[in-house]
Structures are given as C-alpha cells and as structure tokens.
C-alpha cells in the first residue's frame, strides 16, 4: 500500500495530495506468486507428491527472498533444481525440500532441529507448517544471511539460528520432536540421535559419493533406521 501525505501550498491555501517519498520495503521487488504456483505444480505433477499442507506452505514461502542478492542474477529460484547461494552451498531442489519435510511428519508446535541452515528456506517451510525451528549453520556468512532473510520474511519468533558445529546439535534446547539434516555426514552423528525425543524421527542424507536418505525413528529408547531414496548433498563439515 502506498503512503500519501497532505501538503499546504504556501500562499495558495490549497490542499494538494502528493505521494510520499517513503516506499514500502518490498517496493520494486516481484512477489513471483505465479512462479511459486508453477513450482508447486511441478512437484505435484512431475513427482506425484500429494501432501497438500506442505505444498500450501511452499506456495506461501517466497523462495527467491532467500537467495543472496549477489546470486539473483541469472538464477531461477523456482526451477526444478538446486539454487546456488554462495560458499559452495545451495538451496535444495524444491521436490527434495518437500519430500524430506514429508518424512518428518511435522505438526503444529513441534520442535525441530535443522542442521545446515544454508539460506534459511527449509527452516521457513517448517515454520510455515507450525514448527518451532532451531537451526545450525557452520558458515558465519550464511548464518547471518539466513537470520536477515528469516527476519525480513516474518519468521523471527519461529526460527532460531545458531552459528556453530552441527555435529554437536543444540543440547540446550533438546529433546527435539524431529531432526532434519540438509548436508551429508559419512555416518549418522550420535549427538543428534541422543537429542531426538522418544517417539521422534530424523531424516539425514548419509554417505560421501553414494548417498541415501536415512530415516531414523526412536521408540521406547530403541532406534530403528531405514534407507530411502538416493540423493546428492554437500558434505557436512565438522567444527575445529
């Protein structure tokens, strides 16, 4: 909505309506709603994905606002592919975001630990589904970018970003109802399993060159795990 102000023209005593210089924060920035609709259509039709709550959340989250400005040029943030965000990292392909989210079975008010904040996009999708998200990013520049993007998109109270080593998790806020890892360790980090609540589940890509999603479930103190689809993620980095 544009803002207007009334000015009194000196000597004429006439009220004149003029546009204020102040513009809303999003002035000149495309909302790209049509692009989001197309993205959701591809996920639904090309991959047969039918979790409508997740698709609705992805329709609402403005993916392009999570791409750092220096990577916007020549980038299609809604295409059926990963999107570069710098530092050798990417926003995952939209279908992979949708699919991994579906494996977590996120409901209102659950507490989710995310390892590998990246741009903040996956955290925003989880928050849109009603989760409280605690997300860890080891690259300081990406963590700061994610904080700004999440704040700008209104997720300040639902997403909490820590710059740190994801292998350690976030014990101060454990246990978590769900854990999602968006980078690939060579084996499942035990600290993350320990911080998973009984009855919770974890989704993590495991492996170096050959990777698969692994789905872990904790029940009665026992942990079971099953391999899922083949994937390709950047390696998970240990802190020094």
Beta-bridged to residue 212, according to DSSP, are 206, 230
- Determine the number of helices (DSSP H) and then strands (DSSP E) in the chain: 6, 11
Both structure tokens of 60 = 């609402």
Q: Which of 50, 92, 102, 158 is catalytic?
A: 92
Contact present, 115 and 166 (Cβ < 8 Å): yes
Query: Is residue 175 reached through a cis peptide bond, with omega within 30 degrees of 0 on the bond before it?
Result: yes
Contact present, 72 and 60 (Cβ < 8 Å): no
- 92 given a catalytic annotation: yes
Q: In the 8-state DSSP scheme, what is residue 215?
A: E
CA–CA separation, 105 and 54 (whole Å):
10
Identify the residue whose tokens are 């926003």: 91
Q: 172: which residues sit within 8 A by CB, 6+ positions away?
A: none
- The number of residues in the chain equals 240
Q: 22: which residues sit within 8 A by CB, 6+ positions away?
A: 3
CA–CA separation, 74 and 76 (whole Å):
7
Residues forming the active site: 92
């Amino acid at each position: 909505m544009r803002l207007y102000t009334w000015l009194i023209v000196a000597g004429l005593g006439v009220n004149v309506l003029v546009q204020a210089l102040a513009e809303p924060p999003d002035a000149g920035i495309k909302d790209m709603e049509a692009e989001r609709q197309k993205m959701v259509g591809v996920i639904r039709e090309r991959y047969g994905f039918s979790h409508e709550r997740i698709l609705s959340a992805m329709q609402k989250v403005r993916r392009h606002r999570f791409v750092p400005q220096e990577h916007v040029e020549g980038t299609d943030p809604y295409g059926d592919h990963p999107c570069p965000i710098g530092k050798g990292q990417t926003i995952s392909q939209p279908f992979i975001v949708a699919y991994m989210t579906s494996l977590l079975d996120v409901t209102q008010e659950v507490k989710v630990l995310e390892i590998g904040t990246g741009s903040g996009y996956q955290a925003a999708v989880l928050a849109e589904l009603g989760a409280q998200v605690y997300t860890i990013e080891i690259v300081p520049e990406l963590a700061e970018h994610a904080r700004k993007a999440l704040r700008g998109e209104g997720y300040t109270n639902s997403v909490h970003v820590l710059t740190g080593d994801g292998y350690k998790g976030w014990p101060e806020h454990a246990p978590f109802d769900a854990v999602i890892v968006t980078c690939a360790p060579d084996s499942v980090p035990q600290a993350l399993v320990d911080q998973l609540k009984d009855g919770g589940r974890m989704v993590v890509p495991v492996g170096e060159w050959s990777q698969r999603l692994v789905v872990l479930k904790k029940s009665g103190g026992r942990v079971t795990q099953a391999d899922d689809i083949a994937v390709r993620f950047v390696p998970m980095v240990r802190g020094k």
